[in-house]
Structure 1
Amino acid sequence: MPKMKTNRAAAKRFTRTGSGKFKIRKANASHILTKKTTKRKRNLRQGQMADKTNEAQLKRLMPYA
């Protein structure tokens, strides 16, 4: 059986933690920052865990992560 392929789009957006959860970076933090409040921009810097409902899907996209 051939090796499974990792979905490269998912690999660039998600990383697997030691406990097996998926870590994500929040959206809307890259440009058009002048109109966003300092508090909002500060909160966008924090990482976030992917929702538990998406974990099975992410495991399929990234079999070796």
Structure 2
Amino acid sequence: MPKMKTKSSAKKRFKLTGSGKIKRKHAFKSHILTKKSKKRKLKLTHSGLVHKADKMNVLKMLKLK
């Protein structure tokens, strides 16, 4: 039986924390930044956590569950 492969898109976008939560980056920070306020861009810089409703889907993509 071949090895289980993780989704390449998921391994680039998500990281596991020590407590088992999943870190993610915010979207809408890559281009067209001139019309966005400084406050909005600053908030998008910081990473967030994946919502518990989406956690199992992300873990499946990472082949951890």
Same structural fold, with TM-score higher than 0.5 when normalized by the shorter chain: yes
Give the unaligned 5+ runs of structure 1. none
Task: Output one character per residue of 1:6-56: Cα deviation in whole Å (capped at 9) or x when no partner.
Answer: 000111111111111110000000110011000000100111000001111
Give the unaligned 5+ runs of structure 2. none
Matched pairs, number:
64
Moved over 2 A (4+): none
Cα distance in 2 for residues equivalent to 1:8 and 1:33: 27
Cα RMSD (Å) = 1.1
Aligned position for 2:33:
33
Normalising by the residue count of structure 1, what TM-score does the alignment of the two structures yield? 0.89
